[in-house]
Amino acid sequence: MKIAFVLGTRPEIIKLFPVIREHIRRDIPFAIIHTNQHYSPEMDAVFFQQLHLPPADYNLEVGSGTHGEQIGRMYPRLESVLSKLKPEVVYVEGDTNSVLAGALMASRLGIPVAHVEAGLRSYDRRMPEEFNRIFADHLSEYLLAPTEKAKQILLGEGFPESKIYLTGNTVVDALNEVSRLGDKQKTVELRWGVGKRSYILVTLHRPENVDYNTVLRPIIEAIDELSTKFALPALFPVHPRTAKRLHEFGISLPESFVRLEALDYLSFVQLEKEARLVITDSGGVQEEACILGVPCVTVRLKTERPETVEVGANLVTGIEKEAIVAGAEKMIDKRTGWPNPFGDGKAGERIVDIVMERQTGGRSLP
């Protein structure tokens, strides 16, 4: 049996890592097809190295661009590779353009698609990711739902129960491994000059936030006001897209901000674990902060991770300055100890069990 993984961004590498690792453990042949949607080493190659993953077998060198440009470059290149490989299953994860292109081409070639993290919905049609995840679900034979809520969403939308599998979230598996590796690193105080629980960690990258001066500027101002009030520096690993927009809009980061270059995953998780508060627009960071026991404020209108809100780990404030400040003030001293809604850390193993058993017709597994 030959398996193919189509991926192209940091979150996909991280969340498919436990599934790839399980294929390695069981000696199941596979190929990694990297679209190179993220093309800088900080957003890409370093994650393969730190997670001890084999290099990609195929690199499509798609690079950046609009949704249409990226899909247009991915589609024929994926057709060529998948036609040559003829895998029996194609894995995709999440909601990126790589996910959509991978699911479209695999489905077009008659190859079953396994969608890791199926069933997530923000119900915010401004987000291109919402369309990608919905289309990927409709193209998939294996709907690998990370939570009971995601499973119920799929059932409510009419997907057949025979295609839906409750697996847990692979981010728990990844964090367990990364936390072990990260314990060998220098402390945050030695690396960045900040003490435990004495800073705010900020990430911003969503196009609906950073591509508009009228949205991005008030978010920065809100974080500055909060940082100044509580005397907590705002550590800000700046995404390449956000860096470009800050320059275009002429936005200078306030003195309360500590600008960092894009971080490798081990370093980022280390900063997450020690933060007093996380302010983000990232879906994956919402999950990670919840699992790590760090209060989170999400500067978006809606979230596709409602479980984080329900357990009290996360507050979705919207994008207005006053609402962000008020929400952050509520969360900054939030007591931790909420339950982890994302599973037991065995999602990778469970996913491979499910796919292998169905693909082999119940015969003995590797």
**Of these residues, 115, 205, 239, 247, which one is catalytic?**
205
Cβ contacts of 324 within 8 Å, gap of 6 or more = 218, 219, 222, 223, 226, 279, 297, 299, 317, 318
| Cα 139 from Cα 236, distance rounded (Å) | 37
For 4, the 3-state DSSP assignment is strand
DSSP strand E in the chain: where?
A: 3-7, 30-34, 58-59, 89-93, 113-116, 142-145, 164-166, 200-203, 234-237, 257-260, 277-280, 296-298, 314-316
Cβ contacts of 140 within 8 Å, gap of 6 or more = 92, 103, 112, 113, 114, 115, 118, 163
Cβ contacts of 312 within 8 Å, gap of 6 or more = 334, 338
Question: Under a CB-based contact definition with an 8 Å cutoff, are residues 187 and 267 in contact?
Answer: no
What region, left, alpha or beta, does residue 280 occupy, with left being phi > 0 and alpha being psi -120 to 50 degrees? Answer: beta
Looking at the DSSP assignment, which residues form a beta bridge with residue 164? Answer: 143
Active site residue 34: no
Q: Are strands 277-280 and 296-298 parallel, antiparallel or unpaired?
A: parallel
| Cα 146 from Cα 118, distance rounded (Å) | 7
| Cα 244 from Cα 253, distance rounded (Å) | 13
**Catalytic residue positions, numbered:** 205
